[in-house]
């Protein structure tokens, strides 16, 4: 319990939760780090006999003594000396001290190595778990979350911020045990040698504490600004890569370069501000602390009559005691940087999806009867209506189409069926059940979508078609491709279905990508197929092939289709005309043409020019 509380206090509850999951490795790292701190003090006990006795040129026997405390009744403590070895020549003492020094350094090096290795293991495993959870969070968040944020900024949080956390967690955790213990053993040695002089030396402690707190606050503030500026640069990189064709086509390379330079310069300024405080604490502490070094020699020699060996040993111990103080100041700075990165990552992790399963949600059986919209209203922002009082009924196996002016709400309407967004009022029912009362997995499991921009994964054609994750055979993949009019062009490639399509499918033409997307949707064997502008950007030949692929599905699936290409939807069982978010006409192609209404206007505009 105390262990958990300690990590909650140091790191905050969010990241401490991930660290506690690997407490065994953590304890190994901490214990070994503590042992390494004990080995560090050994040379301090060797310096005084080394200088005062081991360096003598005479051959008379000498003694190896160390400072000691004698306890006597009642509760009295007396400083004395403990003789470890008596009657040894200076040369043999020198050899013995050298061997002990070597062994102490060897054991310290071994314990430090395995401590840092265990620390790297637990911190990397903790961040690996967090990285996976963050990816799952990205997948679970609704589309509205991404409408409000730059994808480059989110990528920066998932990469740069996690890298900061990964680099600091183990160092901070081990350091917070190892460094205080190292400080404690050396301060204990100094007090044992001369407690009055030691207390005098540590009068500079309040100054160091003030410096650490001041610099720590500044570093935390500037660290957050650095991470924000890094996100801007990452976002700019991403936009340049994704929109490179547009940039080149509009000859805006110089402009984009200027904008990126602006972001890069801003990042440089933020990093330099951070460095001024992060790097400044060391020299400030050095200047303050090492004012006492001359005092050790002067006061130790004049007032306490120490030997040269004792003064050298105390100076060594003071330097080693100061090192953890300086390291703890650096750890404090790193902790502030870690806290800034943690806050940015867990701002995402703490986001609760607006669209999620209700506690009582049930699995939805496969569509049997009809999909029904009942008085559906929808808006992205309050007061800005996108759909208004939309009602219609689609029976199983029917194909219905939606046409209308740009911005009429057609694509938004289709996005409501798989619950990419939830209706503002009204309801959508499948076989009489409100889709908000069923699990998202069972709902989306029987829906397949082909969008206007059919993006593919950087993988083979077979893997893209079989994206649903089922164990489909090559024959099943090929059958889906045949129905989607894709098989012939796939087999024309040297590697056939093992052809890699490139990033987002860029090695294929638009028509080829669209037909692969249709094949992907068909292999899923959906009850409902949503086609959002499947032929909008295709040439006439590709459009004809896509149209044939759609006609192959008539009667086999319940199909919702949005298209500005009216040729694509002539054979629909029913066509709905949307304007300003409302249905203004409905009927078959022939019925709507006979009405001489909005549909007839759209048809005439398209085919008379």
pLDDT value of position 388: 92
pLDDT tens by residue, 504-521: 788 888 888 888 888 888
Set out the domains of the chain in order of their start, with CATH numbers: 2-56+108-349 (1.20.1560.10), 370-607 (3.40.50.300)
DSSP states along 304-344: S---HHHHHHHHHHHHHHHHHHHHHHHHHHHHHHHHHHHHH
In this predicted structure, what is the pLDDT of residue 413?
Answer: 92
Give the pLDDT score at 577.
92
Whether 336 and 216 have beta carbons less than 8 Å apart is answered as yes
Q: Which two tokens stand for residue 80?
A: 């004395």
**Bridge-based pairing state of the strands 528-532 and 447-450:** parallel
DSSP code at position 13 = H
* pLDDT at 434 (0 to 100): 93
Q: What is the pLDDT of residue 425?
A: 92
Tokens 């703490």, residue located: 350
Q: Please name every residue paired with 404 in a beta bridge, in sequence order, or none if there are none.
A: 578
- Report pLDDT for 492: 92
Rounded Cα–Cα distance for residues 560 and 550 (Å): 11
Distance between CA atoms of 126 and 152, rounded to whole angstroms?
A: 24
pLDDT, residue 141, reads: 85
| Cα distance between residue 462 and residue 476, in whole Å | 10
pLDDT given for residue 576 in this prediction: 93
DSSP secondary structure letters along 230-275: HHHHHHHHHHHHHTHHHHHHTT-HHHHHHHHHHHHHHHHHHHHHHH
Provide the whole-model pTM: 0.75
Show the low-confidence residues of the chain (pLDDT under 50).
none
Residue 450: C-alpha distances to residues 158, 388, 559 (Å)? 29, 25, 11
Cα 448 versus chain centre, distance: 29
Distance CA 328, CA 178 (A): 10
The Cα 550–Cα 548 span in angstroms is 5
């Amino acid at each position: 319990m105390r262990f958990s509380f300690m990590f909650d206090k140091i790191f905050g509850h969010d990241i401490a939760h991930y660290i506690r999951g690997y407490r065994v490795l953590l304890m190994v790292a901490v214990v070994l780090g503590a042992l390494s701190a004990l080995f560090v003090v050994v040379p301090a006990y060797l310096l005084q006999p080394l200088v005062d006795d081991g360096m003598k040129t005479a051959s008379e026997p000498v003694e190896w003594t160390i400072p000691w405390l004698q306890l006597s009744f009642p509760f009295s403590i007396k400083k004395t000396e403990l003789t470890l070895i008596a009657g040894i020549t200076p040369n043999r003492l020198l050899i013995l001290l050298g061997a002990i020094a070597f062994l102490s350094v060897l054991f310290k090096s071994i314990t430090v190595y395995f401590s840092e290795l265990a620390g790297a293991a637990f911190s990397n495993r903790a961040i690996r778990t967090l990285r996976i959870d963050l990816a799952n969070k990205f997948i679970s968040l609704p589309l509205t979350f991404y409408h409000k944020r730059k994808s480059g900024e989110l990528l920066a949080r998932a990469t740069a911020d996690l890298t900061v956390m990964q680099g600091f967690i183990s160092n901070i955790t081990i350091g917070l045990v190892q460094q205080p213990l190292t400080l404690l053993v050396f301060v204990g040695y100094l007090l044992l040698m001369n407690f009055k002089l030691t207390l005098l030396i540590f009068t500079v402690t309040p100054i160091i504490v003030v410096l650490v707190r001041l610099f720590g606050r500044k570093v935390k503030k500037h660290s957050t600004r650095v991470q924000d500026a890094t996100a801007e640069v990452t976002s700019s990189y991403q936009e340049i890569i994704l929109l490179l064709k547009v940039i080149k086509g509009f000859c805006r390379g110089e402009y984009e370069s200027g904008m990126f330079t602006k972001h890069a310069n801003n990042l440089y300024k933020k990093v330099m501000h951070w460095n001024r405080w992060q790097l400044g604490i060391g020299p400030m502490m050095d200047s303050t602390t090492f004012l006492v070094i001359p005092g050790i020699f002067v006061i130790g020699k004049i007032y306490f009559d120490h030997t040269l060996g004792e003064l050298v040993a105390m100076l060594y111990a003071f330097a080693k005691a100061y090192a953890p103080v300086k390291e703890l100041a650096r750890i404090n700075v790193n902790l502030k940087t870690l806290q800034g990165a943690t806050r940015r990552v867990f701002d995402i992790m703490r986001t609760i999806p607006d669209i999620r399963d209700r506690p009582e949600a049930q699995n939805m059986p496969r569509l049997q009867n009809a999909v029904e919209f009942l008085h559906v209203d929808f808006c992205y922002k309050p007061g800005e209506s996108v759909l208004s009082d939309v009602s219609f009924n689609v029976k199983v196996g029917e194909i219905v189409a939606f046409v209308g002016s740009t911005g009429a709400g057609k694509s938004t309407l289709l996005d409501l069926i798989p619950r990419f967004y939830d209706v503002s009022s009204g309801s959508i029912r499948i076989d009489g059940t409100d889709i908000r009362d069923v699990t998202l997995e069972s709902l989306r499991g029987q829906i397949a979508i082909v969008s206007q921009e059919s993006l593919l994964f950087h993988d083979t054609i077979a893997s893209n078609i079989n994206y649903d994750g089922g164990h489909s055979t090559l024959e099943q993949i090929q059958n889906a491709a045949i129905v989607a009019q894709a098989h012939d062009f796939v087999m024309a490639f040297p590697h056939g279905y093992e052809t890699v399509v490139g990033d987002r499918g860029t090695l294929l033409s638009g028509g080829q990508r669209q037909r692969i997307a249709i094949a992907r949707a068909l292999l899923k064997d959906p009850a409902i197929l949503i086609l959002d502008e499947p032929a909008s950007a295709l040439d006439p030949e590709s459009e004809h092939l896509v149209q044939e692929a759609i006609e192959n599905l008539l009667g086999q699936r319940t199909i919702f289709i949005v298209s500005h290409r009216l040729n694509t939807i002539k054979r629909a069982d029913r066509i709905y005309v949307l304007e300003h978010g409302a249905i203004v006409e409905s009927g078959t192609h022939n019925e709507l043409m006979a009405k001489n209404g909005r549909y007839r206007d759209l048809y005439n505009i398209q085919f008379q020019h």
